[in-house]
Structure 1
Amino acid sequence: MERSADIPVGNVRVKSMHPKKFAMWLFLITVTMIFVSLTSAYIVKRAEGNWLLIEFPSMFQWTSAIIIISSVSMQMAYIFAKHNNLLGVRASLLGTALLAVAFIVGQFMSWGQLVNQDVFFVGNPAGSFIYVFTGLHVAHLVGGVIFLIIVLINAFRYKVHSKSMVQIEMCATYWHFLGGLWLYLYLFLILNN
């Protein structure tokens, strides 16, 4: 596994990080700040009154289960890469990508369930926030699927293995972040409805 390295600078040893990993962590911090800002705005807007109580789509439970399973699948791909099991890496990455597509389809179905309840993007702010939260999450998940496909292609080109872990480490970190973010949003919405 490629970890941060100690680089001697004079008499001091300085920790270094792969520049792509550093950029990804900055991106994750930015995404976190966006969602923290949105959840804060949700709480402030809810306190103003005129808030619609929404029965959350049952599909949210299914998509939550799907994202948890996809996170396990992604972790398995990482473990397989550490042990040079290239077939396992490919199968796990493909499974993760398919689960991601199922999650996205489930979110669209959730929006259909909201529409059936007369909860629309425009109207009561409670509905608007749900669409913004889930829509932004789906947008980031689509980016994750693109990253998964790139790593999967590289796995077929024998570029993902124990001596070349940066891509799969970054992909796993991003994927676990997305899973944690969804669970945070789902619990936040349940607790603050």
Structure 2
Amino acid sequence: MTITLLLIAVLATVAGVWLLRQGIATKPWLETGVAEEARTPPIPAAKIGLAVFIAVATTLMVLLLSAYSIRREMADWSPPPRPLLLWANTAVLVVASVALHAAVRAVRAGDREGTGNALLAGGVAGLVFVAGQLLAWRQLAQAGYLPAGNPADAFFYLITAVHGLHVLGGLVALGRVGATLRRGARMERLRLGVELCAAYWHFLLLAWLVLFATLAFSPSFDWLVALCTAPFR
């Protein structure tokens, strides 16, 4: 529980800093400029919505990891082998994140073709990641490691499935932005959508790195518990 509260506090701090950088704390009525600019919201509602969604998704991830850490201390815990394919899948997700970063740079420069190519590369990499995860599941299932076999097996499938669903959501968002691009929308209109997609895919990469490190190496959080509880001893 201490770990969960600490991670949620860190998340709230990061989200607050991000929103401040986006301009949520600005006071447009005190700034010089035309009246029309003063009535313009300092931050798009879509960005606030994405920040809230990421906060919820991160909280879910923290709860899953907390449950994972507690459950693995029991005697019947027997983790399955980690398919080497997971390393390749991680590299593919890095490629997707880099591609979306390139898409942001392209759309800000007004490069329509570059934006389209980067979005396509990110989408393909995302699809490859999902296919790779399904293949990793198949390898484990063929080796006899099924969700009903052991609590560790069940946690592996649950954690990777939750992350996979978030990746599928990111692919849907990418598809919508790509469709808007193909319809010939202005680059100014595309910019917000591309930036939101990139931010979400960066979050997906960060979340997967944490989840993968936990699943692959089973790090001990005893030191963190001791650090957090030390002031109350």
- TM-score (normalised: structure 2): 0.76
Contact 2:106 2:114 in 1 (8 A): yes
How far apart, in 1, do the equivalents of 2:105 and 2:117 lie? 12
How far apart, in 2, do the equivalents of 1:160 and 1:168 lie? 12
Other-structure match for 1:111: 137
After superposition, the C-alpha distances for 1:91-116 in whole angstroms (9 at most, x for unaligned) are: 11011111111111100000011112
Other-structure match for 1:16: 42
Other-structure match for 1:185: 211
Other-structure match for 1:4: 23
In the TM superposition, 1:1-193 aligns within 5 A as 3-4=22-23, 6-9=26-29, 16-159=42-185, 161-162=187-188, 164-192=190-218
User: What is the aligned residue count?
Assistant: 189
How far apart, in 1, do the equivalents of 2:190 and 2:137 lie? 40
How far apart, in 1, do the equivalents of 2:64 and 2:111 lie? 41
Structure with more helix by fraction: 2
Contact 1:81 1:89 in 2 (8 A): yes
Moved over 4 A (4+): none
Other-structure match for 2:8: none
Where 2:28 maps in the other structure, the secondary structure is: strand
Identity, in percent, stands at 27
Where 1:177 maps in the other structure, the secondary structure is: helix
Which has the bigger relative contact order, CA under 8 A and spacing at least 6? 1
- TM-score (normalised: structure 1): 0.91
How far apart, in 2, do the equivalents of 1:186 and 1:117 lie? 20
After superposition, the C-alpha distances for 1:54-92 in whole angstroms (9 at most, x for unaligned) are: 210111011000000111111111110010110010011
How far apart, in 1, do the equivalents of 2:214 and 2:71 lie? 15
Structure 2: gaps of 5 or more residues: 1-21, 32-37, 220-233
Structure with more strand by fraction: 1
Structure 1: gaps of 5 or more residues: none
Superposed displacement of residue 159, structure 1: 2.9
